[in-house]
Structure 1
């Protein structure tokens, strides 16, 4: 009998698929979902939009999702038009299409870890070589650091993440501009958590007008609370969108997905009202954990990275034993927690305090207490 593994691409053998635990727990704060359910008015708007297309499901959807892209352009502002926006099934498909078009065999993508773990995975799946420029000791990223990494690796694609996952740290515009100026290829700024930033107006979208090789990716999974709908999108020069048409699968975005996203966009104000509540809980987590003597990365996202643990996996398990699921990203001594509702945040903080009290040996209070900025 043929060994399937022997037929697999050599660069994929031995690798494990991406995945976060999906466990039935009382408090799930591990995947950076929006903790708030859709408001009834928004849910009803989505239902109306979906109902309008159900009768035509025997026909293929608009393969270029023109109406949805127009709505997304209006949401982003900055004088963008439908020609500046592209949409797909989640931002991961957006990233995949970008690497299919601008990466691939014989080409290199550069990232700065710790960052979004799907960047190197998608690079690998498209046959793109991955280079790691690493982040600085405080999880920050300076223009000088980025320029040096680009000079060393000469990448075809550069990934920046702002706010960065899993650290939550945001980038200054000068870092993004430095990357575009230093790189001969494409620069992709992953802004999945942009709406949660302390200064959301500093989005890289405002830099697009002057930089043709810059791409800004977004999602409706986080601030819009549509993780189950799978809708990601990007903003870029129209020539970038034209290039993606060469690699996108025909009719890749279903009529139902397009309708659901358009319905949600009619309730933008109601949906984004939860962002302020989540920011409050995020800042509460940061302040409380720091008061407990643990290092915490300054976060502009809807999650918090905290450290000071001698055995982070053991702390993760102790929290799970108390009904609280957070994320172990594999960063030694650090764990990440999503900012949830007030009650979920209270449950997490109480569980963490209990673990510190009962199992002080799992924490290393003599470790560095530097705060990331």
Structure 2
């Protein structure tokens, strides 16, 4: 698991090569504000090899935040992340490894009949109860999350995971009311609190797509205040003290998807009973939560000339559109790290180099939306 001393040591080794605030508070220490993601790519040996090499290069170049999930690339992404971390000359304790559980994973490739696979692998074996499924492939019931976390540790080949996310809990809103989803999350958090006490994870959070970006009356909306309250209750229920390990949220954020900054849809933690609202980024900052952005370059759509509006592009530092897109995401007040996935070594170098440029200050970022 990552430790404070090792994380700060990594910062001391690489920090002089980067711009202002490149390393930011995360977990027990600090981590790079550019992270490497592992979502995209076919489940093939060739992509495995390319991804392993890309992660290794990133770790040796000043990126020590690696993000994956149990279901990415049909379950292969976690194996590759673990291999890259174990093979790296960088101390394991200097690397933040994050993964997620929620979607039912395949086992190395995509089956011809996914529904039959789910039935035979998960339902018939009792790993998942049919009533816990949403959209045929998502579950966050305590027993399933226990199973999923164990599989993640096995695939990664690591003793512990630094940040474990409950993956897209808003998926459950398709089959049950919000109150029941919050109950599910509290039960899930109790599992994760026990695993935190046992030393299997350093902390946990939720990784979302829609939940924190949409309006309150949207069917996909979840309240961050309610989720945090459920984590606090889980911490009290499990002990050994009244603390909890809910440390981070993950959501998409880029110049074309800036809702987490522009939409005031969360009740502020300092005054949860009044009628005021703040953005998700402001809520997270006030609550002391780390925010990790996914889709930081729009899965490549923002890495081409002209994709960023010209007036915004002119305010951003970076030699390439991809670097300026990354620096937009990193500049948002409250953002801890921005994830960018790549298996191309030149793209990895380009993404890492984005961190050599300073992000916008808070007032300059605000002015983008005026």
TM-score above 0.5: no
**Normalising by the residue count of structure 2, what TM-score does the alignment of the two structures yield?**
0.30
**Normalising by the residue count of structure 1, what TM-score does the alignment of the two structures yield?**
0.30
Higher relative contact order (CA 8 A, sep 6+): 1
Greater radius of gyration (CA): 1
